[in-house]
Amino acid sequence: MRYWAAAKAAAGTAEEPYAAATLAEALDAARAAHAANPEFARVLLRSSFLVDGDPVGTRDHAAVPLAEGGTVEVLPPFAGG
């Protein structure tokens, strides 16, 4: 997972590996890993996601499959966006 802007600040890292079959599983694991920082979960609620470069949009995160070795990008709102 790659974190950008406020997500990077809240996670305390620019990226970290994931082991999950769906985006929902990856996000649940990330929330658990960063449970000590409640701001991380708040940032995820406001964020958009790219999976291997493709926007997730409004799709159910449980229905978004992740490929082994793929990339999930966490994009919080930027500059008032």
- CATH homologous superfamily for 2-75? Beta-grasp domain (3.10.20.30)
Residue 80 in this model has a pLDDT that exceeds 70: no
Q: How many C-beta neighbours within 10 Å does residue 77 have? A: 12
Angle between the 23-33 and 38-46 helix axes, to the nearest 10 degrees? Answer: 150
pTM exceeds 0.75: yes
Strands 72-75 and 48-51 come out as antiparallel
Domain range summary for the chain, segments of one domain joined by +: 2-75
Q: What is the pLDDT of residues 9-63, one digit of tens each?
A: 999 999 999 999 999 999 999 999 999 999 999 999 999 999 999 999 999 999 9
For the ranges 41-45, 70-74, 76-80, the lowest mean pLDDT is seen at 76-80
The yes-or-no verdict on residue 79 having pLDDT over 90 is no
